[in-house]
Amino acid sequence: MHEKILIIDDEPLVLLSIERALLKVGYEVVAASDMKDFLDAVASRKFDMIIMDLHMPGIRTNELTEEAKRHIPSVKFMTISGSVPAQDSRYFLQKPFKIDVLRKRVREILDEPS
């Protein structure tokens, strides 16, 4: 496997849970809890996927997406949130979610052609 995944979420428990769940099945995982850690990570490494919380204080996900795409044009995204998005998206996972559902969704997105 060895795909690299960056996770950004302001909830420490969620961040840790996702990190552990993905590490356990062989992904390389970097966790960021704020904009600075996120920007440092995308500027210094190539990720295959970014999982980001849709609602974080002081952070706009469109800014994160644009910055990541600037450094890693081929990166894939999945958003997570406790609220339902305005439109249905297969790249969205609503909190709370089951770990096996997270792993399955990550695998499906990574397996999609770029």
- Residue whose pair of structure tokens reads 């302001």 in the numeric block: 10
Domains of the chain: 4-109 (3.40.50.2300)
Quote the CA–CA distance of 59 and 66 in Å, as a whole number.
13
- Structure letter (DSSP) for residue 59: B
From first to last of its 114 residues, the chain has per-residue pLDDT tens of 589 999 999 999 999 999 999 999 999 999 999 989 999 999 999 999 999 998 887 778 888 899 899 999 999 999 998 887 656 577 889 889 999 999 999 999 999 987
The dihedral region occupied by 5, where left means phi > 0, alpha psi between -120 and 50, and beta the remainder, is beta
Length of the chain: 114
List the one residue out of 26, 24, 22 whose CA is nearest residue 50: 22
Quote the CA–CA distance of 55 and 62 in Å, as a whole number.
11
pTM score of the predicted model:
0.92
